[in-house]
Amino acid sequence: MHLLKRWGLSAFIGISTGLLGAVTHAACPDWKGVPVLQPVIPCDSLGTNQNAFNNLAWQQFITLNWAADSNLPGQPNTSVPAASFGVAGSTSPVVWESYKESSEVFRPNGAPPLPWGNKQDIPQAMRALMKSKTLKATSALGVKGLHQTSKFGDALVPPLKDIAEAGTNGAWLTAQPKMNYYVTLFEKRLNQDEYNYINRNQLYIASKQPAFTTTQGLNLPDGSATFSTYGTVGAIEIKAAWIELDDPALWPMFKISKAWVSYPITGGGSTTPKQVTVGLVALHIIRKTPNAQQFMWSTFEHIYNAPSKTELSAPPLPWYTYYNLNCDPATDYYKCVQNKMPVVGTDPYNAPVQVVRTTPISSTTANNIAALNTNTWATIKAANPQSVFLNYQLVNVLWPNSNTPIYPGATSPLPDGNAQPPVAQQPVANTVLETYHQDLNCLSCHTGATVAGQKQTFASDYSFLFGEASNPVTQTKKSKSKLMRVKLP
């Protein structure tokens, strides 16, 4: 009963319904449970099974990759027809690119997030590298800067934190000769529901997170009536991976954008930022819904990223971004060893990694993602035969079979909700975002996410973004800082 007092009866009912099966919403789009080429984002899965979440994942991908409304960040431009979904050569931002980049929400010195409607400015980490403090906008939404973009940073290796894959001690991913040995760049964003929750509760200030966790509970909105003041979609976090594309002939095959990019330099430092065309190679979409209190974790990739281990004898495509069909052990830096993880301070940035998908795209009866991909491509092709999104595939979806609410005072590790598919059966991993840990799944790490602070154990609802929060500089520290800058006579 104490939980009802702390959260309120309506809040408890709103959350706990997820334990009883599929939840219905009063004001949801009329969606039949299969992907359609319309910019609608369903309130939840139509059922609590693998196929239901797989279908929802593809529908979310379609909606979040619809052309963004430049006047309403986070919303699709509903005047854009289905025939224009994935127009080849377009650099116009899509919906998820109009979400807030995490560095705009968790700012230095605990500063409040920038207003949702603000155009994106150059990331602060990149500003220090610029000779000019102003950059030409890359789109109507402002400046896309791919520099301070890693999911996890490592204070011991600051030059690499902008390109490091999760849980690798700073390892990066370098593409093959087809892509001129470029290092893969990441960015992470969050939608307006999550932004509102963080902003209104001042969770961008590190010192406020523990108290909030123990009283109200750090429980991200799930789009239900309980959280209606934050929005009706539920919290969404995005992680995207990009590769620089020198060759314009490749642009029609990728979702492309203009971006200012900066790369690490061997021995320390970063290159001067330059504006280039980048192609999307991978996309994580995680979303909290009433049926997914542990979130649903969907991951997509470009079909030209890498072959699976079952395709190595006869690769189906003529080339790959991260796999060299003609790799020669005598000349290749890593001797063509598959998924060889670079070591910080030892291996060069321009040595390509021979990437192989260790778990092929599922085609089982219980989880026939291969068939769903084919069917969804047919839907897209019927509207736009040249859509760039015909080159992207759903890899897998992780969802909680035992939907478990998170209560105030929860500590890490949180429950994984009996996540499906089981990791021993089908690890859910992306060859670009989890190249070196393809034997795990998303919740293997995210159950341990905590609020900001090295010694904190309070859980942050499966999100590592809260660890980016900082505290305001005290007046005493400000005064000392000013004294240190005074020039002596």
By three-state DSSP, how is residue 211 classified?
A: helix
The string of DSSP letters for 23-59 reads: ---TT-----SS--SSS---SS-SSSSHHHHHHHHHH
Q: What string of pLDDT tens digits covers the 489 residues of the chain? A: 333 322 332 333 333 333 333 443 446 889 999 999 999 999 999 999 999 999 999 999 999 999 999 999 999 999 999 999 999 999 999 999 999 999 899 999 999 999 999 988 876 667 667 766 667 888 888 888 886 433 333 333 233 245 667 777 778 999 999 999 999 999 999 999 999 999 999 999 999 999 999 999 999 999 999 999 999 999 999 999 999 999 999 999 999 999 999 898 887 778 888 999 999 999 999 999 999 999 999 999 999 999 999 999 999 999 999 999 999 999 999 999 999 999 988 999 999 999 999 999 999 999 999 999 999 999 999 999 999 999 999 999 999 999 999 999 999 999 999 999 999 999 999 999 999 999 989 898 999 999 998 889 999 999 999 999 999 987 445 444 443 443 333
Cβ proximity of 341 and 174 under 8 Å: no
Q: Say whether pTM exceeds 0.75.
A: yes
φ/ψ of 236, rounded to 5, equals -130, 130
CB atoms within 10 A of CB 79: 8
Are the beta carbons of 319 and 304 closer than 8 angstroms? yes
173 token code pair: 């991913």
Residue 42: cis peptide before it, omega within 30 degrees of 0: no
Q: Which domain holds residue 288?
A: 2-485
Q: Cα 297–403–296 angle (5° rounding)?
A: 10
Pairing of strands 256-261, 145-146: parallel
User: What are the CA-CA distances from residue 193 to residues 11, 239, 338, 383 (Å)?
Assistant: 17, 17, 40, 31
What element of type H or E holds 398? strand 392-400
- Do residues 339 and 359 make contact, with C-beta atoms less than 8 angstroms apart? no
For residue 94, which of 63, 117, 124 has the smallest C-alpha distance? 63
- C-beta of residue 408 within 8 angstroms of C-beta of residue 213: yes
Omega within 30 of 0 (cis) for the link into 385: no
Measured CA to CA, the distance from residue 74 to residue 195 in angstroms comes to 11
Nearest one of 105, 106, 99, 43 to 72, comparing CA atoms: 99
State whether residue 415 is helix, strand or coil: coil
Contacts of 72 (CB under 8 A, 6+ apart): none
How many distinct structural domains can be found in the chain? 1
